[in-house]
Protein backbone atom coordinates (compact mmCIF):
# COMPACT_ATOMS: atom_id res chain seq x y z
CA UNK A 1 0.00 0.00 0.00
CA UNK A 2 1.50 3.32 -1.10
CA UNK A 3 -0.39 5.50 1.39
CA UNK A 4 0.91 5.76 4.94
CA UNK A 5 -0.16 7.28 8.23
CA UNK A 6 0.02 11.12 8.40
CA UNK A 7 -0.01 11.52 4.59
CA UNK A 8 -2.18 14.27 3.10
CA UNK A 9 -4.72 12.81 0.65
CA UNK A 10 -7.49 13.98 -1.68
CA UNK A 11 -10.77 12.03 -1.95
CA UNK A 12 -11.56 11.52 -5.65
CA UNK A 13 -14.99 9.86 -5.50
CA UNK A 14 -18.03 9.46 -3.29
CA UNK A 15 -20.02 11.90 -1.15
CA UNK A 16 -16.86 13.53 0.22
CA UNK A 17 -15.36 14.13 -3.23
CA UNK A 18 -12.62 16.82 -3.44
CA UNK A 19 -12.12 16.92 0.34
CA UNK A 20 -8.57 16.86 1.68
CA UNK A 21 -7.52 15.25 4.93
CA UNK A 22 -4.75 13.64 6.91
CA UNK A 23 -4.57 9.85 7.16
CA UNK A 24 -5.16 8.84 10.78
CA UNK A 25 -5.02 5.05 10.42
CA UNK A 26 -4.14 2.58 7.67
CA UNK A 27 -5.92 -0.79 7.46
CA UNK A 28 -3.87 -2.83 4.94
CA UNK A 29 -5.79 -6.08 5.49
CA UNK A 30 -9.03 -4.37 4.41
CA UNK A 31 -7.32 -2.06 1.87
CA UNK A 32 -8.83 0.99 3.59
CA UNK A 33 -7.68 4.20 5.28
CA UNK A 34 -9.23 6.36 8.00
CA UNK A 35 -9.08 10.05 7.09
CA UNK A 36 -9.58 12.96 9.48
CA UNK A 37 -12.89 14.77 8.79
CA UNK A 38 -13.95 12.55 5.86
CA UNK A 39 -16.73 9.93 5.63
CA UNK A 40 -18.40 10.98 8.90
CA UNK A 41 -21.54 9.03 9.86
CA UNK A 42 -24.05 9.48 12.66
CA UNK A 43 -24.56 6.54 15.01
CA UNK A 44 -27.42 6.27 17.51
CA UNK A 45 -26.20 5.04 20.89
CA UNK A 46 -28.59 3.50 23.41
CA UNK A 47 -28.36 4.48 27.07
CA UNK A 48 -26.22 2.04 29.07
CA UNK A 49 -27.48 2.75 32.61
CA UNK A 50 -30.79 3.67 34.13
CA UNK A 51 -31.40 7.43 33.93
CA UNK A 52 -28.79 7.99 31.24
CA UNK A 53 -29.87 9.54 27.93
CA UNK A 54 -29.28 8.08 24.49
CA UNK A 55 -27.31 10.17 22.04
CA UNK A 56 -26.23 10.56 18.44
CA UNK A 57 -22.47 10.22 17.95
CA UNK A 58 -20.50 11.20 14.83
CA UNK A 59 -17.88 8.62 13.80
CA UNK A 60 -15.34 8.63 10.95
CA UNK A 61 -15.53 5.41 8.93
CA UNK A 62 -12.70 3.97 6.80
CA UNK A 63 -12.67 4.67 3.06
CA UNK A 64 -11.19 2.54 0.30
CA UNK A 65 -7.63 3.32 -0.82
CA UNK A 66 -8.78 3.34 -4.45
CA UNK A 67 -10.91 6.42 -3.71
CA UNK A 68 -8.02 8.61 -2.52
CA UNK A 69 -4.97 10.20 -4.15
CA UNK A 70 -1.78 11.21 -2.42
CA UNK A 71 -0.95 14.94 -2.31
CA UNK A 72 2.74 15.59 -2.90
CA UNK A 73 4.19 17.91 -0.22
CA UNK A 74 6.72 19.35 -2.70
CA UNK A 75 4.58 20.23 -5.77
CA UNK A 76 1.27 20.34 -3.80
CA UNK A 77 -0.59 18.36 -6.49
CA UNK A 78 -2.61 15.16 -6.22
CA UNK A 79 -0.65 12.42 -7.95
CA UNK A 80 0.21 8.77 -7.90
CA UNK A 81 3.09 7.54 -5.80
CA UNK A 82 5.84 5.46 -7.31
CA UNK A 83 8.92 3.76 -5.95
CA UNK A 84 12.58 4.38 -6.67
CA UNK A 85 15.24 1.86 -5.67
CA UNK A 86 18.06 3.60 -3.85
CA UNK A 87 21.35 2.32 -2.51
CA UNK A 88 20.00 1.52 0.96
CA UNK A 89 16.23 1.19 0.54
CA UNK A 90 13.41 1.95 -1.85
CA UNK A 91 11.63 5.27 -1.39
CA UNK A 92 8.31 6.72 -2.49
CA UNK A 93 8.45 9.37 -5.22
CA UNK A 94 5.87 11.69 -6.77
CA UNK A 95 5.04 10.69 -10.34
CA UNK A 96 4.51 14.34 -11.38
CA UNK A 97 7.58 16.12 -10.01
CA UNK A 98 9.87 13.15 -9.31
CA UNK A 99 10.72 14.31 -5.77
CA UNK A 100 10.92 11.97 -2.78
CA UNK A 101 7.82 11.94 -0.57
Instruction: Decide if 85 is inside a domain.
Output: no
pLDDT score for 28: 96
- For 35, the domain range is 8-74
Instruction: Decide if 81 is inside a domain.
Output: no
Q: Which helix (H) or strand (E) holds 40?
A: strand 40-45
pLDDT score for 54: 93
Answer whether 62's CB lies under 8 Å from 86's CB: no
pLDDT score for 6: 93
At CB < 8 A and 24+ separation, what contacts does 23-28 make? 24/60, 25/62, 26/1, 27/62, 28/1
CATH number at residue 49: 2.30.30.30
How would you write the pLDDT of the chain (101 residues) with one tens digit per residue? 889 999 999 999 999 999 999 999 999 999 999 999 999 999 999 999 999 999 999 999 999 999 999 999 898 999 988 899 877 888 999 988 888 88
Q: Determine if the pTM surpasses 0.85.
A: no
Q: Give the total number of structural domains in the chain.
A: 1
Amino acid sequence: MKIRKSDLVLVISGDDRLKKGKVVKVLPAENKVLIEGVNIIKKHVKPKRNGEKGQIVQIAKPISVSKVKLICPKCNAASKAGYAAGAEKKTRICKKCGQEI
